[in-house]
Amino acid sequence: MGDMNTKDFLIGSLIGGIVGASAALLLAPKSGKELRTEINEQAQMAKERTTKLTNSAYERGNEWASLAKEKSSNLAKTVSEQSSQVVDKVKEVTKNIKNDVEDANSSAEDLVADVSDQVTESSEDLKENIQQEVENMHNTITEETEKRREAAEQV
């Protein structure tokens, strides 16, 4: 078993050495000119991506602002229209109530005038009836008095 561990260790070391050497060759530092060129290329690509993202964000921001402006304008218009409708309805109801009150006042005045006329007519009829009754009683008393006077004179 000891031989097996040594063998596995040697195989692992060999494979590790090959991978390490390959990585060292692939990642070996470049000359200054190559490094600056690559950095410039990467910086240019980053700048282009940033510009695209900025433009995209700006366009979307404008779209959202436009949409918000349109929605708020529509909402304001709807609220204004509904407010006008409510005001018109309140004016109409107020006018109807005012007309109903005026009609009720007119009807009440007519009723008072009718009742007043009926009371006046009734009081005149009552006055005439009372005068007639008083006259009838006066005539009856006068007749009775005359009869008694005549009867007293005969006795």
Of the ranges 1-5, 48-52, 59-63, 148-152, the best mean pLDDT one: 59-63
Mean pLDDT of 1-11: 66
Q: How wide is the angle at C-alpha 22 spanned by C-alphas 18 and 24, nearest 5°?
A: 115
In this predicted structure, what is the pLDDT of residue 26?
A: 58
In this predicted structure, what is the pLDDT of residue 21?
A: 64
In this predicted structure, what is the pLDDT of residue 52?
A: 84
Residues 38-90: tens digit of each pLDDT:
667 777 887 787 888 788 888 888 898 999 999 999 999 999 999 999 999 99
Lookup: tokens for 145: 């008095």
Amino acid at 91: K
List all residues 6 or more positions away from 38 whose beta carbon is below 8 Å from its beta carbon: 30
Mean pLDDT of 4-12: 73
In this predicted structure, what is the pLDDT of residue 101?
A: 92
Q: How far apart are CA 21 and CA 19, in angstroms?
A: 6
* Mean pLDDT (the chain, rounded): 83
- Residue 17: pLDDT above 70? yes
Mean pLDDT of 119-137: 88
Q: How confident is the model at residue 113 (pLDDT cuts 50, 70, 90)?
A: confident
